[in-house]
Amino acid sequence: MSRKETEAHDGELGKGRTFGLGEVGNPGPIEKTSESNFVEEKKLAAFMNEVLTIMVAPSTEDGSLEIITPQVNGMNQPIIRGRETNVKRKYVEALARGRTTKYEQKIMDPNRPENIHMAEKTALTYPFSVLHDPNPKGRAWLKAILAQP
């Protein structure tokens, strides 16, 4: 069976060896949950803690960080750009939700400068590819997050 990759960017990425760094931080106190929600909370926690293999695209911008650290609930996960990295799904969600919006002014009629149209361009702050996801529901989950505003 062939391996399916989920692309979260528009460019091609080179392959390298998988590189892992551990989580850093204090997760804080444990929150209580009601018995009725326990099963769903347990399933969600297990899903969000599954380990995926990703690669964050190297940046072409001057001064960009070579190592990025998405943070979830007080814990962060260092990720080196351009290297295959094993990370928990919760950090992939943080990457998928991190977006940058830039605006470009377009003047529709030079004789009427008050009619300026602001063209919006939104892109992922850290474009990435999911190279391996052990869960068959993972692809749909990522697509749903990327489709959200």
- Model pLDDT for residues 108-120, shown as the tens digit of each residue: 887 877 788 888 8
Instruction: Output DSSP code: residue 66.
Output: S
Spatial distance between the Cα atoms of 86 and 20, rounded to a whole number of angstroms:
6
In the chain, which ranges are E strands?
6-8, 18-19, 24-25, 51-56, 67-68, 71-72, 75-76, 79-80, 84-88, 99-107, 116-124, 128-132
Token code pair at residue 16: 């390298």
pLDDT at residue 30, rounded to an integer: 75
- Model pLDDT for residues 15-62, shown as the tens digit of each residue: 556 666 677 777 777 777 666 678 888 899 999 999 999 999 998 888
- Model pLDDT for residues 58-87, shown as the tens digit of each residue: 988 888 889 999 999 999 999 999 999 999
Radius of gyration of the chain (CA): 19
Q: Residue 85, exposed/middle/buried by CB under 10 A (0-12, 13-18, 19+)?
A: buried
